[in-house]
Amino acid sequence: MQKVSKEYVEDYSKGKVEPPKAKETKQSLFAKKSIFDIDSLMNLIKLREGALLNYLSEKTLNNLNNIFNMWMLNESDNIQDLAMNYGERVCLEESINSLKGTKYFNNFQNK
């Protein structure tokens, strides 16, 4: 998880990758009666990933002289959260792509 987050933060800081784009804002999600549709869940995951990525990138750039201690002692939970969130988003995106057009996907969307 450390390796995934480290490379993700480095690539983001260098402009090689961008955080995932959510189609809704936090405020519009709060205003919904239910967030248990696939699009809302995906947007929540993307918003969280973007927030974690921005936070860790800023902390890393501001602590380059003490990076080891900052990552290992102060930000370990956030680093693991970013890696887990990244993996969950990729798995959810691939699952959605695989299930689109099937009766299972259509049944879930209609609930």
pLDDT digits (tens, 9 = 90+) for 44-83: 999 999 999 999 999 999 988 888 889 889 999 999 999 9
Residue 69: inside a domain, yes or no?
Answer: yes
Q: Are the beta carbons of 47 and 21 closer than 8 angstroms? A: no
Question: Residue 75, CB half-sphere, CA atoms under 13 Å: how many?
Answer: 24
Report pTM.
Answer: 0.86
DSSP state of 21: P
Residue 19: inside a domain, yes or no?
Answer: no
Q: Are the beta carbons of 92 and 84 closer than 8 angstroms? A: no
91 lies in which domain range? 2-14+24-109
Residue 89: inside a domain, yes or no?
Answer: yes
Tally of structural domains, the chain? 1
Mean of pLDDT values over 5-19? 95
Amino acid present at 3 = K
Residue 76: inside a domain, yes or no?
Answer: yes
Q: Which pLDDT value is given to residue 109? A: 62
